[in-house]
Amino acid sequence: MTLRARKTVEGLKEYHPPLGGRDGLRLDFNENVGGCSPRVLAKLRAISSETLNKYPEREPGERAMADYLGIKPAQTLLTNGVDEAIHLLAETYLEADDEALIAVPTFSMYEIYALATQARVLTVQAGEDFKFPTEALLKAIAKKTKLICIANPNNPTGAAVPRAEIATILKAAPNAAVLIDEAYFDFYGQTMFDALGKFNNLFVARTFSKAFGLAGFRMGVVAGSEAQMKLVRRVSSPYNVNGVALECLPEALADREFVASYVEQVKRGRAKLEAFYRERDVRYWPSDANFVLAYFGEFRVAFVQEMRKRGILVRDRNSDPGCAGCVRITLGTDEQTERLLKTLPEALAAIGFQTQRSAESKR
Ligand code: PMP
C-alpha cells in the first residue's frame, strides 16, 4: 500500500511558473521591476527581533488597510497574496459538484483552487478581441454556480470589464460569491470597493505584488460584506500574513508618491510599446494593466529566446486558451522601457520577423 492523495489532487494540473533562472530584466511576471518604496526598505532595516519572535498581529494591519480602502476593518481580510484570497473563497463557498465560473483566458489560480475543492469549473471563452464575454458568462450562470472569478483588468489580456457589466453579473448570480480581482487596479483606476455595501455576494481583492513592488512580501487583501467575511475568516489561518510584511504595510500604504510615480512610468511605457506594435504592424490587445499581450504567431518561440539572449525575459502565453502565438511583456520604469524599445527591433530583426496578421486571420 502506498500513500495516495485525494483523487481530485492527483488529477490537478501543476502550475508551472518558472521559479528559478530569472536573471535579466524580468518583464515576464507583471511584477514591479523598479523596486519598492524606500520607506518600506527603511522600515525593514529597522525590524527588531520582537517582530520575528512574536506571532504576527493582523488586526492593526487590517485597520490600516480598511482606512486606505475606505471600508470597515470587519470587511477586510489580509491574505498571503491574492492567491490565498482565491483559495479561501473557494474553500468557503464551493461544495463538491458546485460550479465555479470563469472567463478564459485568465489567471490560472482560479481554476486550480476551485478544482481542488472537487467543484466543477466551467469556462467561457472570450472572443478574438479578448473583450470580457459578459453575455456568454451570464448565460452560463446556473443554480450550482457558487463562485465567479473575474480579474479586472484581466491577466494576460489587459482587458477591463465595465462596472455596469459587473453589476449585471452580481445581480444575475445572487447565490454565487463573485470575486473582482483588482490585482492591476493601480494601472487602471476603476474599482468596485465602493459597491461593497450594495451587493452581499461581491468580494474585491487587491495585491501588493504589482504596483507596490512587494511580491516577495506575499501581501494581499480581500473584502466583502461583514457577514460573509466572518465566514471567510473561519477558513483562514490566524497567522496567514507574516509579521515583517505587516510591520512594513503602513509605510507601503503611506508612500503614495512612490506608487503614483511608478504607475505614471508604466502607463507611459504601455503607450510606447503599443505605438511600437502599431508601427510594426504587430497585432496587440490594448491593455489597462502593466503589460501588453501581442501576437507573434510562428515567430513566438524565436522571439522569446532572442529577447532572453539580450537579457530581457518576456512571457510566452501560447498555452493559454485562445492565446496561441501570443507573448506578454510587462512594462516597468522609463529606463527599462527605453531598454525594451531598443532591444525589440534588434530581436525582431535577428529572427527575420514579418507581421503575422495574415496568419492570424486564418486562426
Ligand atoms: N490575480 C491576478 C489577476 C494576477 O495576475 C496575479 C499574479 N500574477 C495574482 C492575482 C497573484 O497575486 P499575489 O502575488 O498577490 O498572490
Q: pLDDT tens across 50-99, in order?
A: 999 999 999 999 999 999 999 999 999 999 999 999 999 999 999 999 99
What CA–CA distance (Å, rounded) separates 308 from 312? 5
Same domain, 191 and 324: no
Is 1 a member of any domain?
Answer: no
Q: What is the pLDDT of residues 270-314, one digit of tens each?
A: 999 999 999 999 999 999 999 999 999 999 999 999 999 999 999
Is 180 a pocket residue for ligand 1 (Cβ < 6 Å)?
A: no
Instruction: State yes or no: pLDDT of 362 exceeds 50.
Output: no
Q: Which atom of ligand 1 is nearest to the CA of 107?
A: 3
How confident is the model over 45-53, as a mean pLDDT?
95
Residue among 16, 89, 109, 132 whose CB has most ligand 1 atoms within 8 A, to mutate: 109
* Whether the Cβ atoms of residue 104 and residue 126 lie closer than 8 Å to each other: yes
Q: Would you place residue 359 in the very low, low, confident or very high pLDDT band (cuts 50, 70, 90)? A: very low
| Whether residues 147 and 20 fall in one domain | no
Do 27 and 106 belong to one domain?
Answer: no
Cis peptide before 153 (omega within 30 of 0): yes
Nearest atom in ligand 1 to 219's CA: 15
Domain hosting 241: range is: 38-255
User: Do residues 305 and 218 both lie within one domain?
Assistant: no
Give the residue whose CA is nearest to atom 12 of ligand 1.
82
Task: Average the pLDDT over 147-154 and give the result.
Answer: 98
**Helices 256-279 and 334-350: angle between axes, nearest 10 degrees:** 20
> Is 2 contained in some domain?
no
User: Both ends of the chain: CA-CA distance in Å?
Assistant: 49
What's the confidence (pLDDT) of residue 363? 43
Using most ligand atoms within 8 A of CB, pick from 132, 181, 317 the residue to mutate for ligand 1. Answer: 181
Residue 235 lies in a domain: yes
CATH classification at residue 283: 3.90.1150.10
Nearest Cα to Cα of residue 159 among 126, 118, 120, 193? 126
Question: Total domain count for the chain?
Answer: 2
Last-in-domain residue among 255, 276, 304: 255
Atom of ligand 1 nearest to the CA of 106: 3
Above pLDDT 90, what percent of the chain?
Answer: 91
Is the per-residue pLDDT at 236 higher than 90?
Answer: yes
Which of the listed residues 255, 287, 311 is the one where a domain comes to its end? Answer: 255
Place of cell 489597462: 288
For residue 17, the model assigns a pLDDT of: 67
Give 250-273 as a DSSP string: HHHHH-HHHHHHHHHHHHHHHHHH
E strand or H helix at 20, and its extent? none
CB 133 within 8 Å of CB 126: yes
Burial of 355 (0-12, 13-18, 19+ CB in 10 A): middle
| Distance (Å) from CA 207 to ligand 1 centroid | 7
- What is the structure's pLDDT at 361? 47
Residue 316 lies inside a defined structural domain of this protein: yes
Tell me which amino acid residue 115 is.
L
Is the pLDDT at 356 greater than 90, yes or no?
Answer: no
Q: Does position 181 have pLDDT exceeding 80, yes or no?
A: yes
The Å distance, Cα 362 to ligand 1 centre, comes to 33
For residue 15, the model assigns a pLDDT of 74
83 lines ligand 1 (CB under 6 A): yes
Q: Which three cell numbers stand for residue 298?
A: 510562428
SS3 state of residue 181: strand
Q: Could you tell me if 26 and 42 lie in one domain?
A: no
Task: Say yes or no: CB of residue 155 within 6 Å of ligand 1.
Answer: yes
pLDDT for 18: 65
The 3 state secondary structure assigned to 322-335 is CCCCEEEEECCCHH
Q: Coil, strand or helix: which one is 220?
A: strand
Q: Which of 199, 221, 255 is the last residue of a domain?
A: 255
Residue type at position 288 = D
Mean pLDDT, rounded, for 33-47: 95
CATH of the domain at 153: 3.40.640.10
pTM for this model (two decimals): 0.95
Nearest CA to 332 out of 248, 254, 268 is that of 268
Q: What is the spatial distance between Cα 77 and Cα 85, in angstroms, rounded to a whole number?
A: 8
> Residues of the chain with pLDDT > 70: what percent?
97
pLDDT at 265 > cutoff 90: yes
Distance 25 CA to ligand 1 centre (A): 20
CA distance 117 to 7: 11
Residues 134 and 242 in one domain: yes
CA of 175 to the centre of ligand 1 (A): 25
Q: Measure Cα distances from 233 to 85, 95, 344 in Å.
A: 10, 17, 46
Question: Residue 227 pLDDT > 90, yes or no?
Answer: yes
Whether residue 352 is predicted with pLDDT greater than 70 in this model: the reply is yes
Cα four-point dihedral sign 333, 334, 336, 340? positive
